[in-house]
Structure 1
């Protein structure tokens, strides 16, 4: 799989660190209880199809980027700096 870094250009996936889905997760209250915190830390959706993911170009410039990718075909549909993504 090849990912395009906005600064460095197209690179092999092994230069990047996958952080997870690029979505805002609602953090539980400090006293929410063990079940709520377990769900927050460990449970994530695993959708098939187009998703937005957060990656760090760890083996390159260190930029954080949002990658739009099809999880079924692994096709990269686009990437942009995380700081430029509008929520």
Structure 2
């Protein structure tokens, strides 16, 4: 079992988390026509880089999305960062 750190709730069991997306993936511009091939590539194509990666994850109990920096080979987590700004 691996422990991930939610930036909102602290360290938790990996089973509480869900991978959401690669960080930096750009959604197609929907103000115009978008081909089926473009949508398919956006939804299903993954880079699957080896080594240090940046990914969007969700902590299911608090339903918050956050950025995780981790090594996809060793599974070492370097840092987690909230994707929303804290309320003022």
TM-score by length of 1: 0.81
Map 1:1-87; keep pairs closer than 5 Å.
1-29=2-30, 30-58=32-60, 60-84=61-85
Quick one: higher RCO (CA 8 Å, sep 6+), 1 or 2? 1
Figure out how many residues of one structure are paired with residues of the other and give that number.
83
Distance 1:22 1:36 in 2: 18
Q: Deviations over 1:13-69 (max 9, x none)?
A: 1101110112131415552322222212211211001111111110x2222111101
Distance 2:76 2:49 in 1: 15
- Please tell me the root mean square deviation across aligned C-alpha atoms, in Å: 1.7
Runs (4+) of structure 1 exceeding 3 A deviation are none
Q: Is the 8 A contact 1:70 1:76 kept in 2?
A: yes
